[in-house]
Structure 1
Amino acid sequence: MTDDAAPDLRASDADRERVAEILRDALAEGRLDMEEFEERLDATYRARTYGELAPITRDLPAARGVAAPAVSLTKDPAPEGGWADRIVGGDDGGTSTWAVAVMGGFQRKGRWTAPRRFNCFAFWGGGEIDLREANFVDREVVINAVAIMGGVDVIVPPGIEVVVRGIGVMGGFDHREEGEPGDPGAPRVVVTGFAFWGGVGVQRKLPRAEKQRLREERRRQKLERKEARKQLGGASGYHDPLNLHGRSSERYREERGER
């Protein structure tokens, strides 16, 4: 049975999420601008049937130039990427093994491969080491940070164990993210080094894609609540005897003699 053969079949949340994922890919590739993306995403979360979902992605190709079905009637579980896929192993030294910021800054973020040991130095400057979307050469990564009148921020995603062993003199290392156990198979990040009149911070943040997914989920829930209130109002037989919704606030004040 094809999607077109059952346009009135009710769509599931998983079906809507598959369409939303196609839209996110199209936005990243420049096939949709932000306004088109938001319009189609709102339509996706409002859709109740396959017939409503199908037109949303009909003009969007899938990866590698193959036309993507709008939705699938097969309720296969979505593949889940695990930590094992992000630990590449081997003798690879990683995308970058060191960074220096002297009266300036550095960043390591996005899709990069963290080495077994990353050395960085900040003097009158700052650096950011973002591991949320990174791959890892090994199960344990050591970040050796030296901050002299400067700072280094290490950002890790949930599920990673963090150990902080640095020494601070008139400066410090952030230990707040220690003690949280890691997910099975997740890498371990050891933050060490020296801070003098400076600091090394550790933050735990959601990956950007997950934050975007949560924003879209909140938007979907908001639309569903709005639709539910609308249906409840219609079912209750509520009417507006004063036509307050049909008159402007200025007209209403005039009629009350306030102007």
Structure 2
Amino acid sequence: MTPHNPAPRTSEAGRTPAPRASGPAPAAPTLRAFDAAPALRASDADRDRVAAVLSEALATGRLTSVEHADRLEATYNSVTVDELVPITRDLPDVDAPASPGVAAGRQEVTAVFSKVVRGGRWVAGRHTALSATFGALIVDLSDAVLPGREITLELTSFCGKLIVRVPENAHVIDEVSGLFAKRHISGGLGGEGGPVIKVVGRATFGKIIVARERTDWNLPDKP
């Protein structure tokens, strides 16, 4: 008699289980993925991502200040995703390694029992905290690279002096409070297409000044 060989066991569905797929997880979509859905309306997050790429390109010398301003204006005037694609087509993708000169989303500059001056072509954070404690902190944003159209400055002055110069075309939103302190904020609307700078914080036994002109409030001259 011929021996009977039992059939291999199968799954409950009657089929041998398929092997599991291996390999890295799919990469997160980048700006190049916008090409797949040109009819989508752009969100604020989409515009901010493009603005971040433009800021990096300006900081690394890939764009001039005029080119950066033109492309940034086009970015925030874009309604659909397909309008955003050409703006960064000739620049490194958003998921490429960031330049060391590009700031993170939050940045801090402090002066404690000292005087600190920050100016020139530096990259500000989307949320920048400035603090002066028994010292003086002077920050000039007129030539700084801003990571987007809107940034927030968190100002804290305790027995110190904190002076900030903003671009002349900036729209400044003043939400700074004071306790036994002096505060002077050049708020209000700026020029067309200027950045929106929201100023928050508190001065306690100190001074906070936000000015537009270099000659105001002992702001240092540019080199």
TM-score normalised by the chain length of structure 2: 0.50
TM-score normalised by the chain length of structure 1: 0.43
